[in-house]
């Protein structure tokens, strides 16, 4: 194409036609989360100054956030498709079992066991993805059935290979990972911050998942499959493979979350993952990830997980009972989602009027 | 005048959709409401059905002013509407759908015998022999359309608005529908027909109102006084010269880019043989249901080919999916169903076009926004996609721009063979002409184009050769001499060939 018009200077274009349509800043769900977070921290600190106590609160809080951010990411990996993984907990548990077995019986070093565990998680996720993409059965149903089966299997396996509760053998470095913060490592006079050692693992996972969905061809194609599977297939995306891969990623991240929780608790036990399901949705949904698929927010998921854990920790410090905690977390979720919807509607109206 | 709307004004942010528009309907007439996309037709219809309230002007029914504050008011005033989209509940029966909004009740329960009698009465008005107990899901598209009309009539409508009623009907079904419209006219109804298909409008309507930029430029004029070209002139607002497409010459010695030899498919296609050369446009004409899109999809590996061979550049190939068709053979397919299959409506334009090129842009599996944007902007500029920004969502674009986006992704992927399926369905006259120029230009650049269309003027304007398909087989092939009268007759003869 050799048209003379293409030589016209680029500056001829009026700048205002280039600007993307921005939603107002206050309608951004991430910002809302940050505001809510700050408000809660201030509130809890005012009520219980111990909330800012490093050893008592902040370090364990960071560990918990690390675990549940990764749990949220595991769900986010399939929410990108508009799917669900009801088996995040049991996948984490199976993965933890594989790691525990490797450490206890084979005596492998820490990283090798981790890789084995992640592979087990990814394999289980891939299996779910395979069944979903081959049969076309709804992901909710498939993973729910799978969860049911795995929960049974886990009990059987732990009874067979352990005292029934947890593995006794542990790799070298496990206690360090559990107890140390970067403040325990010094270069001369300068010591690290009081951040638990597992936090950077979660951070790297979040960055990697963020990179994948924002710039990765694979991640983008998964999102397009979630946005419109038919159109994705007709655009040359191997949609069945992408479904399988997204579920494998979900299993892998569930496995990682299982590892982090085991590191936190100090044992590879049968109970790992049995509290994962609700938080896995809380993080992404609070953070603005659509259940319908096609759009995800990694930052939002991390913020959502942080908010949930802050509420948990705060109410705990205020000596609320476990049942009350659940009640309030549920209420906060309802309020947050309603506010989010209201914000969204108002934002749209503003946008339409602008 | 049974209905007259005078001086209607409706303003949306930044747009004056209606600016003193007028619509006057006489009882016992079929009235065509014409205008390009964006001329204000939909806004006018939405005012008459109580969806929008006008900022100015008034609506009179039988000389008395009516206030239409909601759809129920419009029903009470006697204005019924059949929208372009289906509005039936598939799981409900025909009778339930027809009387949905005014179910006859007894002791708080639905009075089923009365409901059925009422539905039967409406179906009889249309001479429709349907079982009222049948679920709507089991109806054909055409039958469902007629049930919608029955539903609109069930509220005793004196005015019936039909918005693109034949968009998804075959020729025969459309004829049947217009037969019924004629009957309604004879019964004293005023029927408003909104359609892009001017041939049909001229065959059916008595009077016409043309809207342009929110004004009425032809006010209830007898249609007999106009030719189609004159009406198009009124719609477009400038003397509309029918498109002069650049002359193209394809050397008949050029080997085919794509050739089908006696291809049969699992869908039931029998011994289809076709070929298209680089720089050539092969028109594939047929009515809805002839199996053209299905043939294209079989070609792309979405359906099984049971016998025969497909050759790309002379070499027999076996294509398993769209990705393989695209990457190995440079074949692209612009679907007829752009909203469901062609676009990601909730995604920005960049993603919609970029989706086919990420693989080639990716470095270590990662695609930078800059690389993507460069490609996307090149093709968006080239096709003249009008959007506030490349990040605008595809769902927010007009039909014509959506179609351009759906085409752009294949051009960006550097396809050499392009299958274009009903490229101008639901697109206004001016954009349609621009599209025709574009398609001809692409062929001029050496693309091999397979143009699937059931729009006769479009095929005769664009194609070099025309293959006519009916009932899953190619009935014959014609060399196009661009003489519309002669070509259209030859095509129709081929379609009905074995019937006569």
pLDDT for residue B91: 86
Closest alpha carbon to B172 in B148, B200, B147: B200
> What is the average pLDDT score of chain A?
86
Mean pLDDT of the B289-311 span? 92
Residue B241: phi and psi, rounded to 5, are -80, 130
Does residue A241 lie in a domain region?
yes
DSSP assigned state of A8 = S
Closest alpha carbon to B398 in B24, B20, B39: B39
Q: Quick check: A14 pLDDT over 50?
A: no
Q: Which residues of A touch B13 (CB under 8 A)?
A: 352-354
Residue A116 and residue A159 in contact, taking contact as beta carbons nearer than 8 Å = no
Q: Out of B326, B347, B382, name the one closest to residue A236 (CB).
A: B326
Shortest distance, CA A268 to any CA of chain B (angstroms) = 35
Q: Out of A224, A353, A354, name the one closest to residue B344 (CB).
A: A224
User: What is the domain extent for residue A326?
Assistant: 28-178+189-347
Give yes or no for B366 touching A (CB within 8 A).
yes
pLDDT for residue B286: 85
Q: pLDDT: is A205 or B114 the higher one? A: A205
Residue A132 and residue A142 in contact, taking contact as beta carbons nearer than 8 Å = yes
**Strands B3-12 and A190-191: what pairing?**
unpaired
pLDDT for residue B375: 92
CA-based Rg of chain A, rounded to a whole angstrom?
23
* CA quadruple B66, B71, B73, B76: dihedral sign: positive
DSSP assigned state of A184 = G
The fraction of chain B above a pLDDT of 90, given in percent, is 41
Chain A to chain B Cβ contacts (< 8 Å): 92
Does residue A218 lie in a domain region?
yes
Does residue A2 lie in a domain region?
no
Shortest distance, CA B89 to any CA of chain A (angstroms) = 23
Show Cβ contacts of residue A238 under 8 Å, excluding neighbours closer than 6 positions: B321, B323
Q: Give me B377's structure tokens.
A: 């902007």
Q: Which residues of A touch B413 (CB under 8 A)?
A: 236
A27-63: pLDDT as tens digits = 666 787 888 889 989 999 999 888 888 888 899 999 9
Residue B246 and residue B482 in contact, taking contact as beta carbons nearer than 8 Å = no
Does residue A18 lie in a domain region?
no
Alpha-carbon distance of B10 to B55, in angstroms, equals 5
* CA quadruple B288, B292, B296, B298: dihedral sign: positive
pLDDT for residue A345: 67
Mean pLDDT of the B422-448 span? 86
Residue of B nearest to A353 (CA): B13
Alpha-carbon distance of B389 to B379, in angstroms, equals 14
CA atoms within 13 A on the CB side of B396: 16
Question: Which of A328-332, B100-104, B357-361 is predicted most confidently?
Answer: B357-361
Mean pLDDT of the A121-150 span? 96
CA-based Rg of chain B, rounded to a whole angstrom?
25
Contact between B345 and A232 using a beta-carbon 8 Å cutoff = no
Name all contacts of B114-118 with Cβ < 8 Å and 24+ positions apart. Answer: B118/B154
Alpha-carbon distance of B150 to B122, in angstroms, equals 5
pLDDT for residue A9: 37
Does residue A235 lie in a domain region?
yes
Closest alpha carbon to B44 in B13, B73, B19, B65: B19
Closest alpha carbon to B411 in A1, A9, A229, A224: A1
Q: Quick check: A10 pLDDT over 50?
A: no
pLDDT for residue A347: 56
Does residue A53 lie in a domain region?
yes
**Strands B331-334 and B417-421: what pairing?**
parallel
Residue A332 and residue A315 in contact, taking contact as beta carbons nearer than 8 Å = no
* No. of helices (H) and no. of strands (E), chain A: 13, 2
DSSP string, B183-201: HHHHTT-EEEEE-S-HHHH
Q: Give me A182's structure tokens.
A: 């970067």
Residue B217: phi and psi, rounded to 5, are -105, -15
Give yes or no for B408 touching A (CB within 8 A).
no
Residue B170 and residue B185 in contact, taking contact as beta carbons nearer than 8 Å = no
CA atoms within 13 A on the CB side of A121: 33
Residue labelled with tokens 């749990």: A71
Q: Out of A18, A216, A224, name the one closest to residue B366 (CB).
A: A216
Q: pLDDT: is B295 or B105 the higher one? A: B295
Q: pLDDT: is B360 or A249 the higher one? A: A249
Query: Which of A6, A228, A239, A354 to mutate to test binding with chain B, by most B CBs within 10 Å of its CB?
Result: A228
CATH number at residue A328: 1.10.3470
Does residue A306 lie in a domain region?
yes
Alpha-carbon distance of B236 to B38, in angstroms, equals 11
Number of domains in chain A: 1
A57-92: pLDDT as tens digits = 899 999 999 999 999 999 999 999 999 999 999 999
Q: pLDDT: is A290 or A121 the higher one? A: A121
pLDDT for residue A23: 54
ipTM, two decimals: 0.83
Does residue A193 lie in a domain region?
yes
Q: Quick check: A332 pLDDT over 70?
A: yes
């Amino acid at each position: 194409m050799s048209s003379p018009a293409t030589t016209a200077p680029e500056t001829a274009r009026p700048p205002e036609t280039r600007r993307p349509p921005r939603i107002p800043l206050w309608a951004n769900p991430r910002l809302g989360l940050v505001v809510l977070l700050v408000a809660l921290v201030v509130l809890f600190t005012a009520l219980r100054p111990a909330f800012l106590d490093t050893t008592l609160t902040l370090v364990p809080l960071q560990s918990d956030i690390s675990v549940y951010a990764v749990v949220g990411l595991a769900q986010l990996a399939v929410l990108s498709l508009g799917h669900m993984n009801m088996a995040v907990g049991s996948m984490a548990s199976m993965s933890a079992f594989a790691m525990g077995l490797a450490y206890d019986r084979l005596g492998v070093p820490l990283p090798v066991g981790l890789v084995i565990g992640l592979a087990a998680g990814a394999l289980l996720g891939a299996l779910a993805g395979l069944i979903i993409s081959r049969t076309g059965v709804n992901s909710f149903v498939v993973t729910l059935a799978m969860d049911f089966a795995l929960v049974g299997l886990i009990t059987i396996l732990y009874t067979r290979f352990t005292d029934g509760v947890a593995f006794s053998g542990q790799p070298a470095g496990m206690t360090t990972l559990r107890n140390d913060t970067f403040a325990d490592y010094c270069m001369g006079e300068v010591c690290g911050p009081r951040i638990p050692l597992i936090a950077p693992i979660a951070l790297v996972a979040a960055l990697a998942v963020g990179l994948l969905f924002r710039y990765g061809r694979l991640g983008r194609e998964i999102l397009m499959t979630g946005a419109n599977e038919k159109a994705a297939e007709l655009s040359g995306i191997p949609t069945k493979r992408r479904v399988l891969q997204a579920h494998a990623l979900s299993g892998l991240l569930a496995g990682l979350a299982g590892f982090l929780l085991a590191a936190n608790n100090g044992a590879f036990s049968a109970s790992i993952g049995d509290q994962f399901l609700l938080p896995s949705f809380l993080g992404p949904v609070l953070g603005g990830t659509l259940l319908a698929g096609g759009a995800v927010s990694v930052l939002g998921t991390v913020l959502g997980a942080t908010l949930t854990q802050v509420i948990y920790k705060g109410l705990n410090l205020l000596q609320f009972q476990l049942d009350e905690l659940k009640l309030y977390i549920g209420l906060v979720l309802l309020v947050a989602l309603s506010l989010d919807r209201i914000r969204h509607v108002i934002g749209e109206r503003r946008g339409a009027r602008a | 005048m049974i209905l007259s709307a005078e001086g209607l004004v409706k303003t949306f942010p930044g747009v004056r959709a209606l600016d003193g528009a007028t619509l006057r309907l006489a009882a016992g007439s079929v009235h065509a409401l014409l205008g390009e996309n964006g001329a204000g037709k939909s806004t006018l219809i939405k005012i008459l059905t109580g969806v929008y309230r006008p900022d100015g002007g008034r609506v009179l029914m039988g000389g008395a002013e009516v206030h239409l504050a909601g759809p129920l008011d419009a029903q009470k005033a006697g204005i019924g509407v059949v929208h372009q989209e289906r509005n039936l509940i598939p799981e409900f029966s025909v009778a339930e759908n027809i009387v949905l909004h005014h179910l006859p009740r007894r002791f708080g329960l639905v009075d089923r015998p009365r409901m059925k009698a009422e539905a039967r009465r409406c179906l009889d008005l249309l001479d429709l022999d349907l079982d009222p107990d049948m679920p709507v899901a089991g109806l054909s598209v055409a039958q469902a359309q007629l049930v919608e009309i029955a539903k609109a009539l069930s509220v005793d409508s004196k005015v019936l608005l039909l918005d693109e009623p034949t968009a998804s009907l075959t020729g025969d079904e459309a004829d049947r529908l217009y037969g019924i419209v004629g009957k309604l006219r004879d019964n004293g109804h005023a029927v408003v027909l909104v359609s892009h298909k001017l041939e049909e409008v001229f065959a059916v309507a008595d009077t016409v109102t043309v809207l342009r930029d929110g004004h009425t430029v032809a006010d209830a004029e007898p249609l007999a006084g106009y030719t189609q070209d004159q009406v198009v002139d009124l719609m477009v607002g400038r003397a509309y010269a029918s498109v002069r497409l650049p002359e193209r010459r394809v050397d008949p010695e050029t080997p085919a880019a794509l050739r089908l030899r006696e291809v049969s498919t699992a869908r039931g296609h029998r011994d289809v043989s076709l070929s298209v050369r680089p720089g050539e446009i092969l028109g594939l004409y047929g009515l809805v249901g002839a199996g053209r899109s299905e043939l294209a999809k079989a070609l792309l590996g979405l359906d099984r080919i049971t016998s025969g061979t497909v050759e790309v550049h002379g070499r027999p190939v076996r294509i398993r999916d769209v990705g393989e068709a695209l990457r190995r053979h440079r074949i692209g397919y612009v679907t007829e169903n752009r909203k469901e299959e062609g676009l990601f409506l909730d995604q920005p334009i960049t993603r919609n076009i970029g989706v086919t090129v990420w693989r080639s842009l990716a470095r270590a599996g990662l695609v930078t926004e800059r690389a993507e944007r460069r490609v996307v902007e090149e093709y968006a500029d080239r096709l003249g996609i009008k959007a506030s920004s490349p990040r605008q969502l595809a769902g927010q674009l007009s039909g014509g721009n959506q179609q351009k986006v759906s085409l752009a992704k294949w051009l960006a992927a550097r396809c050499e063979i392009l299958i274009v399926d009903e490229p101008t369905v639901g697109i206004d006259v001016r954009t349609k002409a621009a599209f025709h120029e574009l398609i001809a230009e692409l062929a001029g650049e050496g693309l091999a184009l397979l143009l699937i269309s059931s729009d006769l003027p479009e095929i005769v304007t664009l194609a070099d050769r025309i293959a006519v398909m009916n009932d899953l087989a190619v009935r014959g092939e014609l060399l196009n001499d661009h003489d519309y009268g002669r070509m259209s007759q030859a095509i129709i003869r081929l379609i009905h060939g074995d019937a006569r």
